Amino acid sequence: MARRVVILGATGSIGVQALDVVGRSDELELVGLAAQGSWERVVEQARATGVRRIALADPAAADDARSAWPEGEVLGGPDGIAALILESDADIVLNAVVGSAGLLPTIVTLGEGIDLALANKESLVAGGELVTALAEATGAQIIPVDSEHAALHQLILAERAHGAGTIERLTITASGGPFRGHTREELGRVTVEQALKHPTWEMGGKITIDSATLMNKGLELIEAHHLFGVPYEQIDVVVHPQSIIHGCVSLCDGAMLAHLGLPDMRVPIAYALHYPERIDVPVARLDLLAAASLTFEAPDLDAFPCLRLARSAAKAGGGAPCVMNAANEIAVRAFLEGAITFTRIPEVIEATLDELGTQPVGEFEQLFTLDHDAREAAARRLAAL
């Protein structure tokens, strides 16, 4: 019987590629689609795929979709997204929502014991231990849809077949983004257009800017810690401009396992949706002779302070990663709107972290409040600039 799939964030880069993966697989059946507000595109996707039920987080967009698509069922608002997850009899939910808005759908999915293909790394960054504890409590699996973490998931699983305790370190790679090698001074003058030109991956606006600041790797560091239960001191970030090696696992006998492949998100998407099975994915194959050389360098934490900020927020723990993530979302949006320069992004994040400090977090409700407060604090910082 086909696995029933719901896709959240269906109109974004991951969502569109996931539709391609689902469309090619006999093992998967699409049963629900959700987006923030692009109702015309979701209705079009529903018509093309035969899906009968969609949800739009924006209630006004849901109203528009209802009038345009009377033959289908349209759910609206945050409750509508939750209802789509709960009432679709889904086997797996792909959460490709952008930002901490993805936390609630993650909680609803895991709380119901439904497996989660997680492309929304922010829900693990903000939700941390609470999210992994919820999955453990209900027995739902979290399968990462982030290329580095999908790589590590496969490597760790293969190694754990040999028993526990053999893994010493994890490495996630970073392309370095469009500004690799730039000095801090040069970064003060870069444009939005330049920041949106990623050298190896084609992605949405928010994650592309996060890749340019290296905050994406900071978020991924925290994501890896929660997914695999490995201490931060044992997770390395290495800049690897070719984006061929996605992750490595260092073992107790000196061996290092690496996961290689051309950068194509359909690979981790297909892996997560079919796990533990593997299917044929029609992507270009890696030719080592064509790749020719793979190079590595240390990240420049002076020019790209976001990675340093993420490490220190991770170490502080509690609500700090949630605050950092919210401040980052506000700062990135301001940069994309042309309101601040590129180098202001880490400044806004650091000031917000300083203002709100670290607080212990015991329940999800506190995270929602903290996320809200951090957004307001970051907005005040922006207004004061």
Catalog residues that contact Mg ion under the rule CB under 5 A.
146-148
Strand 245-251 vs strand 53-56: parallel, antiparallel, or unpaired? Answer: unpaired
CB nearer Mg ion, residue 310 or residue 374:
310
Shortest Cβ contact with Mg ion: which residue? 146
Least distance (Å) between residue 220 CB and Mg ion: 5
CB nearer Mg ion, residue 117 or residue 370:
117
Which of 207, 199, 202 lies closest to 182, judged by CA?
A: 199
CB nearer Mg ion, residue 174 or residue 378:
174
Interior CA angle at 38 toward 327 and 131, to 5°?
A: 45
The whole-angstrom separation of Cα 91 and Cα 199 is 35
Least distance (Å) between residue 216 CB and Mg ion: 6
CB nearer Mg ion, residue 122 or residue 146:
146
Strand order across the 167-174 sheet: 235-239, 167-174, 245-251, 256-260
CB nearer Mg ion, residue 148 or residue 329:
148
Backbone φ, ψ for residue 25 (5° rounding): -110, 130
Contact 353, 320 (CB under 8 A): yes
Least distance (Å) between residue 148 CB and Mg ion: 5
The two tokens of residue 264 are 């194509």
Contact 319, 361 (CB under 8 A): yes
CB nearer Mg ion, residue 147 or residue 213:
147
CB nearer Mg ion, residue 83 or residue 265:
265
Least distance (Å) between residue 283 CB and Mg ion: 16
Least distance (Å) between residue 13 CB and Mg ion: 12
Strand 3-8 vs strand 53-56: parallel, antiparallel, or unpaired? Answer: unpaired
CB nearer Mg ion, residue 53 or residue 225:
225
Which residues, 6+ apart, have CB-to-CB distance to 265 below 8 Å?
13, 14, 17, 145, 147, 201, 203
The whole-angstrom separation of Cα 34 and Cα 94 is 10
How many CA atoms does the CB half-sphere of 95 hold within 13 Å?
29
Least distance (Å) between residue 150 CB and Mg ion: 9
Least distance (Å) between residue 151 CB and Mg ion: 9
Strand partners, 92: 5, 115
Strand 167-174 vs strand 245-251: parallel, antiparallel, or unpaired? Answer: antiparallel
Least distance (Å) between residue 247 CB and Mg ion: 9
Q: What is the dihedral of CA 39, 41, 43, 48, to 10 degrees?
A: -170
The whole-angstrom separation of Cα 40 and Cα 283 is 29
Least distance (Å) between residue 36 CB and Mg ion: 21
CB nearer Mg ion, residue 66 or residue 149:
149
